[in-house]
A = this chain, B = another copy of it.
Amino acid sequence: MKVSVLGYGTVGVGVCSMLEAAEGMELRKVLVRPGKADKPFKVCSIEEICADEETEAVVEVMGGVEPAFSFLSAALRAGKHAVTSNKALVAAKGPELAKLAKENGVGFLFSAACGGAVPFLHNLALAVESDRILSVGGILNGTTNFMLDSMQRRGMDYGEALKEAQALGYAEADPTADVSGLDALRKIMLACAVAYNKLPCEGFSLEGIESVTAADVRHFQSKGLVLRLLVSGGMSEDGRICAYVQPCLLDSSSPEASVLKNFNMAKYRGENSGDIILIGQGAGRYPTASAVLRDLSDLTHGRREMMKDSCERVAADNSFCTCRYYVRLGAGSADALPFAEKERDGELVRGVTERVPVSEMHARVKALRESGEEVFFAAMEG
């Protein structure tokens, strides 16, 4: 397969190098920013790539919604298959790209957009054809997993863990998208679209790791529990989609607890297959490029879609999922939550709630925070 690439950053360089090494693959042209086109295969306009009759597939690894969307749309209209690692793009424009691909008789795959090297969406797209997917989820942000693991196994506080994640290149200078859970949320949006043919776009419950303190970590470690930031998605019997991100406390023998450093873990539960758990590098030049190359191989075998052209946008509804929650907050606010058990810890209260709908718990904590209360909460299961 002859492939052109949009973008020559971290992942782009990896894709180009893998294309040159892989049997049956050929690198055609690479789109770089004007002024950066210093090698024969580099070009500065999408028009050159669309006009290249040899190019059969276009890989987009630029990031961001625009101009990635315009460029990939042009490539699809020109009859090129499209492969992308860009989760923001697929979360925002996936259904439009799926339609364009279908109309033009070409493929549109985006495994690398969710879980890096972890072959999550690929396997989910295959499983959904013969099995009913009961739930999707896992650990889909390596930066926060690295930070939580550093706080727990190495006794760092939040600031130290973030600083090291930044020094190692895992976290951006502005780490908001990671630590707030937004990055993980985009990935669960894609997983829901693949599993349920519905792309949730609003109504999410989103809690990152910004509220966890070293004292919290010491407390739940003393109970033998491990903290992970988990994403969850599912569909109710009547077709409503749940999609949420929240910290979770897990038994130390759980598979989630064995996901160390910046690794990712994706999980789906099939009615027939049972739980399928996939672990690997969620980011990085070659891991992400390897997922792009697998999608390209998959195109050569004839696979054309991961998201159907009929995929519709829906609002998430997190009222039908319930969890028990571990909570730490000021003692004066303890009555605001339905604790099943609690204990005083100086000026604080720590405890575990009754089972509460996910959306309700997130809303209650939001209200408490708006009134000035500092709250940490985490679901008591995966």
Interface residues of A (CB under 8 A from B): 14, 18, 21-25, 117-119, 122-123, 126-127, 129-131, 153, 253-255, 257-260, 270-281, 284, 286-287, 289-291, 293-294, 296-298, 301-304
Contact = CB atoms under 8 A, between A and B. Distances in A.
B298 A273 contact: no
B276 A279 contact: yes
A17 to B, nearest CB: 9
A242 to B, nearest CB: 23
A231 to B, nearest CB: 18
B273 A117 contact: yes
B123 A293 contact: no
Contact of A302 (B127, B153, B303): B303
A287 B131 CA distance: 10
Nearest to A128: B297
A286 B302 contact: no
Nearest to A304: B301
A284 B272 CA distance: 10
Given A129-B22, A272-B290, A286-B272, A278 B281 contact: no
Contact of A123 (B119, B131, B254, B277): B119
Contacts of A286: 271-274
A118 B279 CA distance: 12
Contact of A281 (B126, B131, B274, B293): B274
Given A253-B258, A255-B255, A14 B129 contact: no
A97 to B, nearest CB: 19
A277 B275 contact: no
Among A273, A274, A280, A293, the one with the most B-chain Cβ atoms within 10 Å of its Cβ is A273
B130 A290 contact: yes
Given A117-B274, A258-B258, A278-B279, 9 more contacts: A18-B130, A18-B272, A127-B290, A255-B259, A274-B287, A277-B278, A277-B280, A278-B278, A301-B302
A296 B293 CA distance: 23
20 contacts: A21-B130, A22-B130, A117-B270, A117-B276, A119-B126, A119-B276, A122-B123, A122-B126, A126-B298, A127-B294, A129-B293, A131-B290, A254-B258, A255-B258, A255-B279, A273-B280, A273-B287, A273-B290, A279-B279, A302-B302
A338 B311 CA distance: 63
A279 B278 CA distance: 6
A75 to B, nearest CB: 21
A114 B25 CA distance: 29
A287 B301 contact: no
A11 to B, nearest CB: 12
B272 A280 contact: no
Contact of A303 (B274, B275, B301): B301
